[in-house]
Amino acid sequence: MKTEELIQKTTDWIRDYAATNGIRTLVVGVSGGIDSAVVFRLCVATGKEVFAVAMPMSLEQDSCPDSLKKAQELVRDIPNVSFATRPIGEIVAAYIKVMPSLTSEKPLPSVLLQGNLRSRIRANILYNYAAVWSGIVVGTGNKDEDEIGYFTKGGDGLVDICPLSLIHKSDVRKMAKLLDVPQSIIDAQPSAGLWDGQTDEDELGMTYDEVEWAIKHDELQEATGQFIPTRTDRQDEVLGKVRMMRARNAHKLKYPPVFDPGDE
C-alpha cells in the first residue's frame, strides 16, 4: 500500500471510530518521538478536537533533553488542538518515597521498575484528561513494539484505540515525512522516556529494522509452512531475541484469564 493511501485509511479509521462511538476529543501523549508525532498528525487530520499532552519529568529537564521543545514545535499553531504540559517529576518522587513501605522495606525499585512507573503515571494523566474532555486515549505503539510486547502494561499499553499497531516502524517513518513531522523528530533516537538517556534500540539490543525483519521472517515461515533459513549469525541472534520477547510478553496482548465457576 502506498504511504498516501495508508495515511488516508488510518485517518478515516480514527474518524469513523470516533463518530460511531460519539467521541468528542482525541487525547494523545506527545513525547517528541516519531510515533506519537504521527498519531498526533493523524488525529488532527480527522478534524476532531485533539488534546495533546506533554509529560516531561520537569519543565527544565527530561530523559531526552529536547523532548518538550520538540512536542511544543509539533503542536504549534494548529486550530483544533489544545495542548497541556504536565510535568511528572513530583508525582514520581512521591511514589518512590512511599514505595519501600509498600514492598516490605526492600530497596527502591530498579531503573526499569522506576521507568515503568513513569509510564503508568503518564497513562493516568492521559485518562484524567480524557475524562474531563469527553475523549479517548489514542495509542502510539507501532507493530514492531507491540508484536514483542515492548510497552508497559498499565502504562503506554493502556489505551482505547491503536492506529499504528499493525504498521511497522519503517512505514511510520514514511508517514512522518508526508505528514510534515519536523525533521528534528524524524531524526531523533527512538526513546520511551523511561529514564535519563534511555533509547529503545540500546535497551532492546536490536534496531527497529532488525525487529521488523524478524517479524516478517516468522510471518513468511508461518504463511508458507516451510522453514525459512537465516543468513547470518546476527540474524540468528535477532530472531532468537524477538521470539523470546514475543513468548515472554504474550500475556500483554491477551485479556487477563477469567475464572469460570461453572467450568468443570
- What is the model's pLDDT at position 77? 86
Which neighbouring-strand residues pair with 137? 27
pLDDT, tens digit, for every residue of 87-122? 999 999 898 888 765 555 555 557 788 888 999 999
pLDDT at residue 166 greater than cutoff 80: yes
pLDDT at residue 40 greater than cutoff 80: yes
In whole angstroms, give the CA distance from residue 93 to residue 86: 15
- What is the model's pLDDT at position 106? 57
Cβ within 8 Å of residue 203, ≥6 positions away: none
Residue owning grid cell 532488525: 210
The verdict on pTM exceeding 0.85 is: yes
Tell me the C-alpha to C-alpha distance, in Å, between residue 76 and each of 17, 84, 147, 181, 229.
26, 12, 33, 12, 49
- What is the model's pLDDT at position 153? 95
pLDDT, tens digit, for every residue of 50-100? 999 999 988 766 666 688 889 999 999 898 899 999 999 999 989 888 876
pLDDT, tens digit, for every residue of 200-256? 888 899 999 999 999 999 999 999 999 999 889 999 999 999 999 999 999 999 989
pLDDT, tens digit, for every residue of 8-19? 999 999 999 999
DSSP 90-103: HHHHHHHHHHHHHT
What CATH class does 3-199 carry? alpha beta
- What is the model's pLDDT at position 101? 57
